[in-house]
Chain A
């Protein structure tokens, strides 16, 4: 599959501004699980769950939610948006996500982010001013834990390890695929490029020109580090849409949610924000046209996720949005994005493809007589 399409959720508990109803934590969680399962039903490829440690957000443990979903779904890839690499212990992350990898039969990956809520750092014993060094050191360890059987390690931000073996070992000897998510830090794009990992641009809060710059930088650095040509780098984008058959209806219905939304509410008008960011409120065709336009400034890419269940939108509305997305939008996007896609541009990463690639690499090693450790890459 060239591209994966799906949804990502921040998991905010927000009052519906049109009814005044605020779901309870329990309701919101149950609704979210319904939404994730419906995403699979309408043919989407990915569901990604955020991680937060402060109200009005409830998903403190995306790995727990995704594990439950793994048991309830059959096909959809369970990812995160994002897993906090700064404040979680990389040993715990290695263990939890490897466990999820086994539970889901490889139907998972994860997106690492730093988190932008200041107090979360001290709550977890970290210093926000060390955000970038934390992300670099902790991922350096996580990367090794999934690739080396026994790890000796010493760093600045956690207790040293001697002969530590993270369990379970990655499924089929292939570590989970990792995306690095960032809105504005080129250091994170550099990190993704260095490891040959994916780069996920949040995309929804900033102008397209900014995303184009960050992705362009990541691609250039990916090539510099020898993982392939720039157009072979693995890119994911966020997006935000609200659709109705008639675009005027979409605007009318979505406006109160937009005006009162967390993050950007009470600021720019819906029209200004639509012009400045990838937000598209209109007909399915408008969403298709706008989304296809992303390729013009980031190149052919691998994953497109949409934000759909936020700002107090009721469950029924979100499920309707998923229906439109699955039935009318994504099939066209799949077809259109496949056109003129250079053959050397890699497909979106899956566990099965990565296992095959690892096997192929082993055969090459065997035929040349070269023995390499950790040939899973």
Chain B
């Protein structure tokens, strides 16, 4: 009964190393820490979209995912919670970030707790969280946490009161919001029916032609 909960992490950063990945790692670590403090076992898995960028494009063109992409999709959609972080490109999330969510079954993130994060050079882009990422995941009927975490370049060098920076505060607050939802989630352990039907057909075979 004590199967660990699972958090999937998506980073759309392109650089190596990337500050987007750095923020994703901080969010994942903090969330896992909070869960462990609550006595919940948790596993996190992090996926850099850069590594599957051509697979995502191919999926758009052929309509099916490569094995590598399929494994990432299964990991993400079957998680108990999702952390997503994109760099800000041209006033929004990056095209690669959007493309990944475009190839998912639109219903597959319904009810998923999602912690949104974004990075950029300056704080002038911070509203991208609420104007771009939040509506995207609302559309996918995910549960978007009230706190999103934005990190500008300066945030990584900012000193805060008592050694705790504002960024660290935000990370802790967001992780605190994600943890109870992950703890309550049954997503990763629920049986999944690959042949799930819409309402026309009952799950026990009650095919109803006219």
Chain A residues in contact with chain B, CB under 8 A?
132-133, 136-137, 139-141, 143, 153, 155, 186-187, 190-191, 194, 205-207, 210, 213, 217, 221, 224-225, 263-268, 272-273, 276
Contact A187–B62 (Cβ < 8 Å)? no
Secondary structure call for the B interface: loop
Interface residues in B, total, Cβ within 8 A? 20
Contact indicator B201/A140 (Cβ below 8 Å): no
CB proximity of B17 to chain A, nearest CB, Å: 29
User: Can you add 4 more A-B contacts, CB < 8 Å, to A136-B200, A186-B195?
Assistant: A136-B210, A153-B210, A191-B209, A206-B63
A187 touches B200 (CB 8 A): yes
Q: Please, which residues of chain A bring their CB within 8 A of the CB of B62? A: 205, 263-264, 267-268, 273
Complex: how many Å from CA A225 to CA B200? 17
- CA–CA, A268 and B57, complex, Å: 9
A155 touches B210 (CB 8 A): yes
Q: Cβ of B122 < 8 Å from any Cβ of A?
A: no
- Shortest CB–CB separation between residue B68 and chain A, in angstroms? 11
Complex CA–CA separation, A221 to B197 (angstroms) = 14
Q: Which residues of A contact B208 (CB under 8 A)?
A: 136
Is residue B108 contacting chain A, with contact meaning CB distance below 8 A? no
- B57 CB contacts on chain A under 8 angstroms: 267
Q: Which residues of A contact B200 (CB under 8 A)?
A: 132-133, 136, 187
CB distance from B182 to the nearest CB of A (A): 30
User: Does the CB pair A132–B58 fall under 8 Å?
Assistant: no
Contact with A along B50-73 (1 / 0, CB 8 A): 000000011011111011000000
Q: Which residues of B contact A137 (CB under 8 A)?
A: 209-210
Q: If A207-B64, A266-B61, A267-B62 touch, does A190 touch B207 (CB 8 Å cutoff)?
A: yes
Task: Among B57, B66, B207, find the residue whose CB has the most chain A CB atoms closer than 10 A.
Answer: B207
7 A-B pairs with the lowest CB-CB distances in the bound complex, closest first: A267-B61, A140-B209, A186-B195, A140-B210, A194-B207, A268-B58, A267-B58
- CB 8 Å contact bits of B198-210 with A (1 = contact, 0 = none): 1011000101111
Closest Cβ neighbor of A194 among chain B residues: B207
Interface of chain B residues 182 through 202 with chain A (CB within 8 A): 194-195, 197-198, 200-201
In angstroms, how far is the closest chain B Cβ from the Cβ of A244?
A: 25
For residue B194, which residues in chain A have a CB less than 8 angstroms away from its CB? 213
